[in-house]
Amino acid sequence: MDFFEKLGQIDNRIIYVLFILAILIPLVTPLGLPVSVSQHTKQAYEVIDSLQPGDTVIIDIGISYSGAGDVLPQTVAMLKHLMSKDVNVIFTGVQMDSSKIIEDLIKPYEEVGKQYGVDFCNLGYLAGGENAIAAYAKDLKKAYPIDFRGNSTDILPILQNVNSVKDAKMFIFFSTQNADMYVRQISEYRVPIVGGLIAQ
């Protein structure tokens, strides 16, 4: 009887116990592998950390649910950093899933007292891809006369002094596609750009 035949005769319960141990042991006693932080990540952190309370940033959620596992954790971490600094966040989106993803992102902050329309707002999905980015970058309220929740953008306090991307302190985008269209359309406004991309 060869080695593989012997393996095939092992009781399944023994294999399950070994699998459970292989999963539990690293959880109980972590391996302690170092976590490397890239230079780009450090630069993004430092730029965001330089923002002051009351500054306004625009975040475009170009994420679909199919790529959310790769990009959404970056979004959650960056939003947590922004909220801890009391920065105002205007959300836009060029993916059909954007509006729902934004609502999921801001819900925990509403539950702890942050105000919709003051601390953040969800302008929602705008069709058109790169053309949509160009439109809202030039004239935010013209591109979005109402927000995702049906409010007129003319009356939202967070938008009172923001008419285009150049009125924001920073533009942040998260994309499951590519960065090219954001860079092409936003760079002319001379605001810092930070992006979170899919690993591919």
Taking only the tens place, the pLDDT of each residue in 89-126 is 999 999 999 999 999 999 999 999 999 999 999 999 99
Six token digits for residue 44: 């993004």
Q: Establish if 110 belongs to a structural domain.
A: yes
Residue 15 inside a domain? The answer is: no
In this prediction the pTM is 0.83
Evaluate if residue 26 carries a pLDDT over 90.
no
In a domain? residue 3:
no
Q: Report angle CA 94, 134, 137 to the nearest 5 degrees.
A: 90
Which SS3 state, helix, strand or coil, does residue 53 take? coil
Structural domain for 64, as ranges? 39-197
Establish if 115 belongs to a structural domain. Answer: yes
The per-residue pLDDT for 200 is: 58
Cβ(197)–Cβ(173) below 8 Å: no
Is 21 within the bounds of a domain? no
Is residue 12 included in any domain, yes or no?
A: no
Residue 131 falls within a domain, yes or no?
Answer: yes
Whether the pLDDT of residue 1 is over 70: the answer is no
Beta carbons within 8 Å of 119's beta carbon, 6+ residues apart: 83, 86, 88, 89, 109, 158
Tally of domains in the chain: 1
Instruction: Find the angle CA(91)-CA(93)-CA(98) to the nearest 5 degrees.
Output: 100
Instruction: Supply the pLDDT for residue 94.
Output: 94
CATH of the domain at 136: 3.40.50.720
Per residue in 154-200, pLDDT (tens digit) is 999 999 999 999 999 999 999 988 889 999 999 999 999 999 988 75
Within-domain flag for 128? yes
